[in-house]
Amino acid sequence: MKIDGACHCGGIQYEGEADPEKAAICHCTDCQTLSGSAFRTVVPVHSDHFRIVAGEPTIYVKTGESGNKREQAFCPRCGSPIYATAPGDGPKVYNIRAGTIRQRDQFVPKVQWWSRSKQRWINDIASMREVAKQ
């Protein structure tokens, strides 16, 4: 499906094509730290189907526990994370940060990665008290 999205301030804008069946949650400690949350929801988009249409993200290269390097792209103005991908040229997959996708409500995660790092309270979210607005 066609997607488009932007960072919080709108300085970085992108478009692409993604498969809703490929949405995932990552519980790795890098995603927890880089997102400032308990996990990160991602949607993979092949480089043939992704392009930045406005702005230029800042790139930070992080070496993961596996030893693999990952480019972490974010807006230099508002700090919103946009994607992670392998460094270098050639075909690649961009793991788009689902919160930046305008159609994010249509991407229901199908798998959870790095579950060994999952916060112990995650499975209890459905039973927590809800408040409609802050």
Residues 23-50: pLDDT tens digits?
999 999 999 999 999 999 999 999 999 9
Cα gap 15→102, rounded to integer Å: 10
Q: Given a cut of 90, is residue 67 above it in pLDDT?
A: no
Cα gap 23→108, rounded to integer Å: 6
Range of the domain at 22: 2-127
Q: Given a cut of 90, is residue 66 above it in pLDDT?
A: no
Q: Which residues of 87-120 are buried (b: 16+ CB within 10 A; e: fewer)?
A: eeeeeebbbbbbbbbeebeebebeeebbeebbee
Q: Which two tokens stand for residue 55?
A: 């702005």
Q: Is residue 49 part of a domain?
A: yes
List the CATH number of the domain containing 57: 2.170.150.70
Whole-model pTM: value is 0.90
Total structural domains in the chain? 1
Report pLDDT digits (tens) over 72-110. 999 999 999 999 999 998 899 999 999 999 999 999 999
Q: Is residue 55 part of a domain?
A: yes
